[in-house]
């Protein structure tokens, strides 16, 4: 059993290697295969059974999206949905799910093709060579010795030209070939992604594509008119509108407080109406007339209002006319000196009156002139003008008038737009430092969990249990490799939620940037803590030893990496097996949502809560892409090593199952609102290059441990060429993943972009019904803080949502759709499907008389030509 060896000083006694936790064995892989298939098949059959019966979950996006998306309806038969899903083409994915989904699935499709070729060559050509030369030797015994003194018993000479070691040249050849193959597939897919991206963005015309973000605005230019004149003097195009961000902190806080009050009011009404028959109305009238009880339910008797009562007395006033046989919910209110006195008041009346007061405060805050910030969104009349502004330097002073692409209006994190730049930088650096410290802290639990579950540790602390495990091979396999694999997989699931929370507080301007940041943080965790700690370091106690020895010998890490990679081959094989065969069907089943639904359904007390239960869940790329990148790197590292064809075969199964799982979720089950315009692809490319570099270091160390120093040295040119590819990608390709070329805007749409099964599709065919999914999503939107125009909702008490109340004095908001002359130009007709009635600005009973005034969401607080 690997992980123990016979102590030469005490024959017959086993002595544990101090940093060996997981040992290989055929039984371990067999047990893991049975477990993975049992988990995966049970989840898959459960999904096939529940899918036609629970369409509110498994077809949530299809049910809530535009009926003209063009997606085919999947058959309700047990397996009939799979061929229909397979036949959905790339252009349908692009048209219905957007550019980010297309790029994400393109990575999985590229990986399937690449590893299919590599698996075939490794199994047909490389594995027979290994079988011939290594069949009578233990391929792992070489790595049990100290890597500082590697070698066989044939001295310190170079064995590269030893006939017995001639098979090592095949490792070098296949390392070169697999590297070139990877770079070829990556370059070909990158070219395709860029063409699709340029055609997709160049042929659409959303407000996002015509808007750029201007930061570092000096104080003398912080007006809409000054910014407009500044940009138009550049003679790159006509400015259509300018949205200068202002200090809306107080207004945003009021909106948050109002939402909390509204939730409490809805809960109070739900408790009161729990056993009453539903009324055929969508909401309740909210007025302050002296002859009615504000917020009282149907059938309640009027309450005489005390005209001389103050605000606090109205809040404390209890229910004067309870419905016979039913007690209205009560709220205990603490007041007086040190809040030692209390009394009960009617909860519905209290929260209704408080909601009215919040509406008045929001009304006043919306008409208040707020301090301008150093950031603005400038919308040009064309995409070309916007791109010229983005790709140019406007001001000769560092840090002033910086231009960047604007996020979609719905993706803007408005609370960060008016935060000072220094504050955002402090937030960013604080989170970065915290993540770095956290990555070091993770070393302890990761190594501890691995060591606790090792046979060596069990023999030391629980010798009886260790002896029992030696006698029961299946139980040993479960403890030694099954449990560590499960622990690592659970960490991969849990840790992304923490990093997502941290990224939300890093001061970024858009949700798209946050999504890319989550990808970066989670990949760093999976690569550094799971890959490096399990391989190079092995244990917390050996980290300092590794670093100290690396300073003495620069090849020490290469030797250690090669030795540990071979030692952990079974662990990583089982890891890929569990992730692909075992957990992908559970993701398809959405096991978390299924398990939480009864609890969430029981906790849903209001109609709004119950309506939120059927909304499509969000697809977070940062939760899924880092693990896929780690599996990709593992496949590259093991590709040319002995038994590498097993890892490649499991990698092929992983990416095949992942492609169809995520394709179904992105198209039918889950929503992904971020507007990152395919920015994840450049992150994918750099991580693939990192994987190739690790592969080269590992192979060089592997060959050096076999005393083939010349062969090991010949890996160096390949390592340098890979780094050159990364540098060339940064200079030549990366700008095209961030910006839109002017040629694509003017006439690139006619170039072939997507080729499904050999059929070329013109760029114009990427569009559906003359618009893209992003154009449909952004129809009627403008760059404006939602707190300025968001409808103030009525309490949602019955099955149908109530209509928003109407705001009457839109023209009073400073800067509302003003032209050069300062005349207001509020829009009074919302676009079809995208308009909202404005919120109530309650100043008494005058709202009812102005019920016909409406405004399009987003058409406010901007300067427009």
DSSP 535: I
145, pLDDT greater than 90: no
Q: Which residues contact 620 (CB under 8 A, 6 or more apart)?
A: 496, 500, 515, 518, 672
Question: Taking a C-beta distance cutoff of 8 angstroms, is the pair 409, 778 a contact?
Answer: yes
Averaged pLDDT for residues 34-47: 92
pLDDT band at 571 (very low <50, low <70, confident <90, very high): confident
Residue 405's H or E segment, with its range, is strand 402-405
| pLDDT in the model for residue 617 | 84
pLDDT in tens, 591-621: 888 888 888 888 888 888 888 887 888 888 9
Angle value at C-alpha 42, between 39 and 47, nearest 5 degrees? 120
Distance, in Å, from the CA atom of 196 to the CA atom of 762, rounded to the nearest integer, reads 10
Which of 313-322, 414-423, 452-461, 558-567 is modeled with the greatest confidence? 414-423
Q: pLDDT higher for 453 or 707? A: 707
Count the neighbouring beta carbons within 10 Å of the beta carbon of residue 546: 16
> 3-class SS at 122?
helix
Question: Taking a C-beta distance cutoff of 8 angstroms, is the pair 585, 43 a contact?
Answer: yes
Distance, in Å, from the CA atom of 475 to the CA atom of 135, rounded to the nearest integer, reads 28
pLDDT in tens, 747-770: 444 444 455 444 434 444 444 445
| pLDDT in the model for residue 604 | 85
697, pLDDT greater than 80: yes
> For the chain, which residues make up each domain, given as ranges?
4-80+109-203+420-594+601-759, 211-248+370-406, 251-368+784-864
Q: pLDDT higher for 843 or 755? A: 755
Mean pLDDT, all residues of the chain: 76
Q: pLDDT higher for 316 or 275? A: 275
> 3-class SS at 203?
helix
Phi and psi torsions of 19, nearest 5°: -115, 20
380, pLDDT greater than 60: yes
457, pLDDT greater than 80: no
Angle value at C-alpha 745, between 739 and 747, nearest 5 degrees? 140
| Pair of tokens at residue 609 | 């809560």
Question: Taking a C-beta distance cutoff of 8 angstroms, is the pair 765, 752 a contact?
Answer: no
Q: Is 3.30.70.330 the CATH number for 211-248+370-406?
A: yes
Of 194, 101, 210, the C-alpha closest to 748 is 194
844, pLDDT greater than 60: no
pLDDT band at 284 (very low <50, low <70, confident <90, very high): very low
Which of 269-283, 297-311, 630-644, 795-809 is modeled with the greatest confidence? 630-644
Distance, in Å, from the CA atom of 662 to the CA atom of 219, rounded to the nearest integer, reads 48
- How far is it between the farthest Cα atoms of the chain? 106
pLDDT in tens, 249-277: 999 999 999 999 999 999 988 888 874 54
pLDDT band at 771 (very low <50, low <70, confident <90, very high): low
This prediction has a pTM of 0.80
Distance, in Å, from the CA atom of 268 to the CA atom of 797, rounded to the nearest integer, reads 10
């Amino acid at each position: 059993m690997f992980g123990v060896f016979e102590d030469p000083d005490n024959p017959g006694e086993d002595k544990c290697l101090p940093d060996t936790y997981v040992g290989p064995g055929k039984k371990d892989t067999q047990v893991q295969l049975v477990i993975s298939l049992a988990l995966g098949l049970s989840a898959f059959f459960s999904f096939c059974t529940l899918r036609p019966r629970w369409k509110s979950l498994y077809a949530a996006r299809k049910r809530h999206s535009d009926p003209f998306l063009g997606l085919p309806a999947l058959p309700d038969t047990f397996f009939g949905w799979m061929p229909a899903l397979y036949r959905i083409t790339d252009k349908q994915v692009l048209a219905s799910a957007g550019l980010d989904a297309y790029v994400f699935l393109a990575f999985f499709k590229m990986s399937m093709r690449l590893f299919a070729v590599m698996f075939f060559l490794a199994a047909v050509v490389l594995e027979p060579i290994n079988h011939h030369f290594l069949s009578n030797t233990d391929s792992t015994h070489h790595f049990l010795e100290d890597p500082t003194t590697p070698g066989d018993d044939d001295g310190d000479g170079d064995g590269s030209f030893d006939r017995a070691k001639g098979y090592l040249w095949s490792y070098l050849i296949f390392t070169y070939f697999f590297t070139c193959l990877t770079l070829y597939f990556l370059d070909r897919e990158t070219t395709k992604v860029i063409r699709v991206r340029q055609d997709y963005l160049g042929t659409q015309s959303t407000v996002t594509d015509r808007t750029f973000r201007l930061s570092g605005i000096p104080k003398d230019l912080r007006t809409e008119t000054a910014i407009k004149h500044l940009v138009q003097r550049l003679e790159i195009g006509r400015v259509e509108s300018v949205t200068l961000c202002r200090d809306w902190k107080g207004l945003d806080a009021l909106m948050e407080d109002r939402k909390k009050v509204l939730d409490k009011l809805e809960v109070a009404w739900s408790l009161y109406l729990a056993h009453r028959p539903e009324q055929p109305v969508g909401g309740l009238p909210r007025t302050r007339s002296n002859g009615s009880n504000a917020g009282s339910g149907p059938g309640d008797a009027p309450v005489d209002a005390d005209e001389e009562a103050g605000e606090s007395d109205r809040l404390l006033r209890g229910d004067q006319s309870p419905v016979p046989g039913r007690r209205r919910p009560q709220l205990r209110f603490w007041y007086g000196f040190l809040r030692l006195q209390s009394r009960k008041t009617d909860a519905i009346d209290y929260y209704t009156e408080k909601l009215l007061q919040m509406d008045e405060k929001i009304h006043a805050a919306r008409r208040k002139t707020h301090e301008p910030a150093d950031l603005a969104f400038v919308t040009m009349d064309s995409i070309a003008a916007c791109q010229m502004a983005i790709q140019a330097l406007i001001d000769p002073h560092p840090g002033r008038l910086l231009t960047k692409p604007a996020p979609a209006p719905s993706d803007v994190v408005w609370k960060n737009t008016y935060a000072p730049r220094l504050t955002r930088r402090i937030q960013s650096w604080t989170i970065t430092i915290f993540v770095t410290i956290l990555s070091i802290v993770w070393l302890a639990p990761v190594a501890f969990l691995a060591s606790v579950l090792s046979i060596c540790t069990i023999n030391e602390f629980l010798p009886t249990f260790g002896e029992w495990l030696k006698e029961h091979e299946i139980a040993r396999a479960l403890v030694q490799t099954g449990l560590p694999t499960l622990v690592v997989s659970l960490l991969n699931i849990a840790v992304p939620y923490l990093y997502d929370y941290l990224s939300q507080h890093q001061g970024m301007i858009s949700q798209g940037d946050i999504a890319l940041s989550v990808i970066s943080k989670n990949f760093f965790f999976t690569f550094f803590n799971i890959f490096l700690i399990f391989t190079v370091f092995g244990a917390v106690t050996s980290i300092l030893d590794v670093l100290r020895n690396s300073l003495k010998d620069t090849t020490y890490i290469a030797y250690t990496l090669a030795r540990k990679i071979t030692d952990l081959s079974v662990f990583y094989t089982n890891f890929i097996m569990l992730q692909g065969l075992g957990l992908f069907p559970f993701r398809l089943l959405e096991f978390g949502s299924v398990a939480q639904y009864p609890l969430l359904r029981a906790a849903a007390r209001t109609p709004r809560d119950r309506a939120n239960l059927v909304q499509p869940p969000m697809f977070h790329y940062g939760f899924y892409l880092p693990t896929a990148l780690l599996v990709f790197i593992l496949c590259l590292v093991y590709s040319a090593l002995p038994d590498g064809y097993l890892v490649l075969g499991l990698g092929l199964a992983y990416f095949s199952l992942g492609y169809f799982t995520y394709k179904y979720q992105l198209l039918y089950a889950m929503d992904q609102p971020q507007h990152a315009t395919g920015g994840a692809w450049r992150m994918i490319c750099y991580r693939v290059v990192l994987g190739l570099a690790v592969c080269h270091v590992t192979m060089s160390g592997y060959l050096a441990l076999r005393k083939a120093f010349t062969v090991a040295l010949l890996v160096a040119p390949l390592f340098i060429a890979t780094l050159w590819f990364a540098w060339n990608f940064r200079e030549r390709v990366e700008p095209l993943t961030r910006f839109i070329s002017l040629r694509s805007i003017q006439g690139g749409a006619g170039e072939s972009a997507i080729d499904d099964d050999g059929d070329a599709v013109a760029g114009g065919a990427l569009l559906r019904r003359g618009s893209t999914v992003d154009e449909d999503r952004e129809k009627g939107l403008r760059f404006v803080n939602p707190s300025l125009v968001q409808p103030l909702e009525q309490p949602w008490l019955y099955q149908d949502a109530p209509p928003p109340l109407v705001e009457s004095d839109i023209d009073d908001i400073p800067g509302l759709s003003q032209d050069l002359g300062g005349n207001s130009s509020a829009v009074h007709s919302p676009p079809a499907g995208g308009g909202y009635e404005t919120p109530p600005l309650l100043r008494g009973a005058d709202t009812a008389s102005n019920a016909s005034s409406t405004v399009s969401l987003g058409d406010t607080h901007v300067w427009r030509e």
